Amino acid sequence: MMPWPPPPSNAPAAAELGGAGSGPRVSAAPERARPSGPTPGPQSRPLAATQASPGRPAVVIQTSFLGDVILTTPLLAFLAQHGPVDVVTTPVAAPILARDPSVRAVIVYDKRGDARGIAGLWATAQALKARFGLGTTIGDAASRAEHAAGGNGGTRPDSPAPIAYLAQSSVRSGMLALLAGFPERVGFSTSVARALYTRTVPYRADRHHAERLWRLGALSPNAEPPADAIRPRLYPDASDVHAVDGLLRRASHTSEPLIALAPGSAWGAKRWPGYPALAAALARRARVVVVGAADDRDLAAEIGAAVDGAPGTVIDATGALSILAAAELIRRCAVIVTNDSAPQHLASAMGTPTVTIFGPTVPEFGFGPLAPHHAIAGVSGLECRPCDKHGPQECPLGHWRCMREITVAFVEDLVRQLCAPTTS
């Protein structure tokens, strides 16, 4: 195997495929999709922006998908500059926030398990009310609302109660904050639950979602984040390093460069079918490692079968590591190729060069890669694309051109570009 050179110091433009037979087309990525982020690993908190919210305790309610939780970490770091921050999140996401130095406490809300339904919502709200010593009646809390929709107004400096930030725009999250008695509830002006908020923040569709979330904590809707403030951040520790060391040792990995493939997604139509052939091509240059959940093991097996060599040539890490350990493994890779799913956000946090494959979704939704070096593959010119905000399980039209027309050769070339040495 030939070792890969270090990644370039400047991110290449995002690449999009043209229509069938038209070949690659390169277009500049939105500037805010590729900031010069902090170095991988433990990161310092960003500098305070002007007109930030004053020093008040904060409770961030974020019970959405894992990727959304990772994209909330810049908001947590920002708020922590001005007061203690607690987070209400799911059992799946809780471990990745437990080591975040910006977070004082992680409060688990098992909305699909023990705390499901109206009874679970009520019980969780009452637990929050007791924990933070909030008002005894909903009416008292509601009467303290000061601000109408349309802007991120001021705060009540005389109030000792935490401000609730609704990072997830669901009615359930809004009701949780209301029932708990938080006197100030901050969320997006476009949320279906906005009537439950006391302050709203404009939803900037033209910005990355990490920045949109960061803006929940800014006092002025015109505040701009520092250049490195919207990079996600994760904090693997020694136990995660040990877990990855053990995985690689069992796979007889020595010094070969690693390339990560993340073929899975909760949405079937977002799973690019070219990973086995791509692995076969990349295995001539580096050791391929497949990352993902236990549900992705069949995909990993297909990739392993496509690569020549002894069994185990492809390292299967699916379901073998915690989320933070998976982030540590991704940190060690020269590049990762991933669908529009959580692994790209892990790579953004760890600074790993990233190729993200977009099919039914598009990066303009605000969920693209934030690693300093990245490239985007997608088929342009399809009238049916994007077809869904999250991505359907199957192509509604049956042709799945948005994924089938992304060639292995094109993705391999993007990997090569990310790993090529820079020229001055």
Same domain, 250 and 398: yes
Beta-carbon contacts of residue 329 (< 8 Å; ≥ 6 apart): 244, 247, 260, 289, 291, 317, 321
Does 66 fall in a domain? Answer: yes
pLDDT one-digit tens code per residue, 137-176: 444 434 333 332 223 333 344 457 899 999 999 999 999 9
Same domain, 240 and 310: yes
Same domain, 314 and 397: yes
Same domain, 194 and 331: no
Per the structure, how many domains does the chain have? Answer: 2
Query: Is the per-residue pLDDT at 27 higher than 80?
Result: no
- What was the pLDDT predicted at 222? 84
Does 222 fall in a domain? Answer: no
CATH number, position 188:
3.40.50.2000
Q: What region, left, alpha or beta, does residue 180 occupy, with left being phi > 0 and alpha being psi -120 to 50 degrees?
A: alpha
Confidence grade of residue 421 (pLDDT, cut at 50, 70, 90): low
Does 1 fall in a domain? Answer: no
Helices 323-331 and 238-250 cross at an angle (nearest 10°) of: 70
pLDDT one-digit tens code per residue, 202-220: 999 999 999 999 999 998 8
Domain carrying residue 333: 15-35+234-419
Same domain, 200 and 243: no
Same domain, 209 and 139: yes
Does 40 fall in a domain? Answer: no
Q: What is the enclosing helix (H) or strand (E) of 302?
A: helix 297-306
Same domain, 287 and 145: no
Same domain, 247 and 388: yes
Same domain, 194 and 246: no
Domain end, chosen from 157, 181, 215, is at: 215
Does 42 fall in a domain? Answer: no
Same domain, 22 and 69: no
Same domain, 126 and 196: yes
Same domain, 193 and 305: no
Q: What region, left, alpha or beta, does residue 197 occupy, with left being phi > 0 and alpha being psi -120 to 50 degrees?
A: beta
- What was the pLDDT predicted at 308? 84
pTM value is: 0.82
